[in-house]
Chain A
Amino acid sequence: MTVTQQNDQDMAEALCERVRQAHRDKTPLKIVGGDTKAFYGHGVEGETLSTLEHRGIRYYDPVELIVSVRAGTPLTELEAALDAEGQMLGFEPPHFGDTATVGGTIATGLSGPRRPWAGAARDFVLGTRVMTCEGKELRFGGEVMKNVAGYDLSRLMTGAQGTLGLITEVSLKVLPKPGARHSLRLEMPLQEALEKLAEWGRQPLPLTAAAWHEGSLYLRLEGGPSSVAATRERLGGDDLDDTFWLELREQRLTFFSGDDSRPLWRLSLPNHTPELPLEGDTFYDWAGAQRWLRSSASVDAIRDVATRAGGHATCYTPCEEGGSIEPFTPLAPVVAKYHRNLKAELDPHGIFNPGRLYAEF
């Protein structure tokens, strides 16, 4: 089934030509979709290559649980099409603005509150069309649930932020929306909340979001009506408006407001990491595995604590607004070597988003 919108168009040929030209001239390209996630990573010096006109849902079959979408398609348009069939993107991607595109969503690979239970963006990617630096559109993976032929270049591209190639289309696994949902708030100190979350993690509870801030544990239950009702009864607490999760995902809660001049950090940590000795204010998401930190502590101090806990720290505040000069945790030297090798093999002239992830490539 194809959902055709009036302004759907296939601009692959034009994009090919632009990329070919850039490769010939060795001119760097700055790939831009809806320009909602420019803060995520280094600024790129290069000619702007917009994906916005290459848009449209090329294929959607709710029975197959698969949708194929061109990169420039607005994320809201995709979500509306899925919603109309009672389905959704399982990884609940953040938009960070009305103009967010599907291409940018996959290129940044970010996932929302449901991630620990449902999986990340990369877990739902079944296939991609990727334009190489030579301006050839290649197909990896496909419109099937299982496919282990060849290397998994689709997942390699997910989160690579356009540094290895231009994603022109993506095929995603979609999920049926849960039959029932209930959000609640419990008064609970942090230590107890973390213990409870670990305990609940070993039980088959219909949890799909868990956050903690300033003495409140926020939970979302999703699943069959019977199990949601039973768990609701068991846990009690106050009813919570479901929009809380949207506000959290989009960083519109007071915690994220612009009044705070301290840089915003994202700490990604193993399950069951205790409270960390870090100066500042922390908001716990992903049952504690993703923590938002407002802190004026030094970059080294934050990274050191995160790394010692088995995780890593990303700075969400751009460098020019007081954030870290290196937004992403530096790679181990040997891992960096293979990153450079990959970049050199797939984009030898460095035309795709040079420096966006790390200055050296």
Chain B
Amino acid sequence: MNILYDARLDGELPDNDKQQVLATLSQALPGMTLLHREEDLRPFECDGLSAYRVLPMLVALPDTLDQVETLLKTCHSLGVPVVTRGAGTGLSGGALPLEQGVLLVMSRFKQILEVDPEARIARVQPGVRNLAISEAAAPYGLYYAPDPSSQIACSIGGNVAENAGGVHCLKYGLTVHNVLEVEVITIEGDRMTLGSEAFDSPGFDLLALFTGSEGMLGVVTEVTVKLLPKPETAKVLMASFDDVEKAGKAVGDIIAAGIIPGGLEMMDKLAIQAAEDFVKAGYPTDAEAILLCELDGVEADVDDDCDTVRRVLEATGATEIRQARDDAERAKFWAGRKNAFPAVGRMSPDYYCMDGTIPRRELPRVLKGIAALSEESGLPVANVFHAGDGNMHPLILFDANKPGELELAEEVGGKILELCVEAGGSITGEHGVGREKINQMCAQFQPDEITAFHAVKAAFDKHGLLNPGKNIPTLQRCAEFGAMHVHNNELPFPELPRF
């Protein structure tokens, strides 16, 4: 299934003449970098979902907030769609350009404006890399908690837009739990401060609404984040299992014992073998599954918790339990997990990473379902799993050079997400909907719910000029998508025309 913008299903886009838009913007913004030649546009044709590429009409690289404001106002009055892009590491195609749209690139806003160790906050521009914040806070014994695996490259503006997660979410939360204030500019050019350095603000929680809104409501121009004291110590246990179900049960039992681990990750056999081949992390390649359980906090408590977790793991039938002896071994244990994606990438010409979430108790059933889909399609699937918070990353292995395999991988991916929804979960835990999962939104939400989302969008962007076609599908699209999944011969959305 091709996920590129489809006017029949996603709505007609204004058809503006490129030369005219270029002339108007150049005149309004004489000092701003505005790329328009094909060879200059090429590097911006995709984000982290690189299977899909579109050349934008123009690429704007502003240096000042006044330029951003003028650009948005001008595009608003011309009726030109705007897609905002940060570092371009997003995996769901949220920054996929539009042929008829301007791509607004925020990467030049990369100043750390303030680190205040007394108030434990950092105020940064949106193009600042996630890891750079923690690096700037490190001299004060502080850090920024959310750590998406792309943290060396991804920028905080994109983190806010996607409500990025990481491996420590169960204990430390997602982006929405760690951002205090954002400055935004709407498509009409209105500048707003949402949230504050205090713990709350009067009025609606627009800060939460903007977090994860995928650039559909406004452009993030400044972010103030909460900094946390670095845990005194962190220790990691690795447990091997001869059965995935036992590993899944151990996850629940650890939490039932009253422990919230800093990180709790699971990998299945294929992922273990790939990681071991790649980084030699010391993983047991004969195990069906491993759990990595990191406990952090005050030394004495962590030691107590390690004992408790060890007992739980023994009781659930772990075949081997190892505790990293020192920081070097701890880093090695994690290296395998953190490099799981590229490791799997070495095994196969291409892989497709999914991001469903499920209630943890559904893990065995969903894993069985995934195994069945894998067998049926002939495409191997490696499972990497933020087990603590129920966030799965099945990696579907395929070869895009073989005709039909990309489509097959996407089909398997879509079915995996629908399996997650059926299990009471969600189609995305941290990567966002973007363009990639636009059809699966129709499986997760009812038409009335999608209508409510469109109402929210209309409150901030009446003409739908910010990032059209992303995040929230049209009912038209759901009708078309639903038509391919007819249940009990009942056609969803009977009132809508079909293409």
Contacts and interface: CB of A to CB of B under 8 A. Distances in A.
Contacts of A202: 117, 120, 140-142, 229
A66 to B, nearest CB: 7
B198 A289 contact: yes
B301 A223 contact: yes
Given A86-B258, A153-B456, A268-B199, A148 B432 contact: yes
Interface string A188-202: 000000000010011
Contacts of B209: 151-153, 155-156
Interface stretch (A50-58, A73-81, A341-349): A341-349
B208 A155 contact: yes
Interface in A199-252: 201-206, 223-227, 230
B267 interface: no
Nearest to A206: B298
B496 to A, nearest CB: 18
A204 B424 contact: no
B358 interface: yes
Contact of B120 (A142, A271, A344): A271
A255 to B, nearest CB: 20
B158 to A, nearest CB: 13
B63 interface: no
Interface stretch (A8-16, A96-104, A131-139): A131-139
Interface in A157-211: 158-160, 164, 175-177, 179, 198, 201-206
A123, A132, A149, A153 — which one has the most chain B CB atoms within 10 A of its CB?
A: A149
B211 A152 contact: yes
A341 B359 CA distance: 36
B361 interface: yes
B196 interface: yes
Interface string B421-452: 00011111111110001000100111011101
Interface stretch (B19-27, B33-41, B128-136, B187-195): B187-195
A322 interface: no
A204 B120 contact: no
Interface string A93-130: 00000000000000001000001100110110000000
B445 to A, nearest CB: 6
Contact of A159 (B204, B391, B426, B431): B204
A146 B169 contact: yes
B6 interface: no
A271 B119 contact: yes
Contact of A119 (B119, B177, B459): B177
Interface in A42-68: 61-66
Nearest to B116: A272
Interface stretch (A21-29, A32-40, A293-301, A306-314): A306-314
B430 A271 contact: no
Interface string A317-357: 00000000000111110111111011011100000000001
Interface in B199-233: 199-206, 208-209, 211-213, 216-217, 229-232
B174 interface: yes
A335 B357 contact: no
Given A271-B118, A310-B197, A226 B426 contact: no
Contact of A342 (B232, B300, B444, B456): B456
A292 interface: no
Interface in B237-264: 252-253, 255-256, 258-260
A224 B389 contact: no
A225 B162 CA distance: 38
Nearest to B431: A148
Contacts of B192: 332, 334-335, 338
A227 B426 contact: no
Contacts of B84: none
25 contacts: A109-B205, A119-B177, A120-B199, A123-B173, A143-B359, A144-B359, A146-B169, A150-B453, A150-B472, A151-B216, A151-B471, A152-B212, A160-B204, A201-B120, A202-B141, A225-B304, A268-B199, A329-B202, A334-B190, A335-B192, A337-B190, A338-B460, A341-B459, A342-B459, A345-B456
Given A149-B437, A156-B204, 8 more contacts: A86-B258, A109-B200, A143-B424, A148-B165, A151-B453, A203-B229, A226-B303, A311-B197
Interface of B: 116-121, 140-142, 162-163, 165, 169-170, 173-174, 176-177, 186, 190-194, 196-206, 208-209, 211-213, 216-217, 229-232, 252-253, 255-256, 258-260, 297-298, 300-301, 303-305, 357-361, 386, 388-391, 424-433, 437, 441, 444-446, 448-450, 452-453, 455-460, 471-472
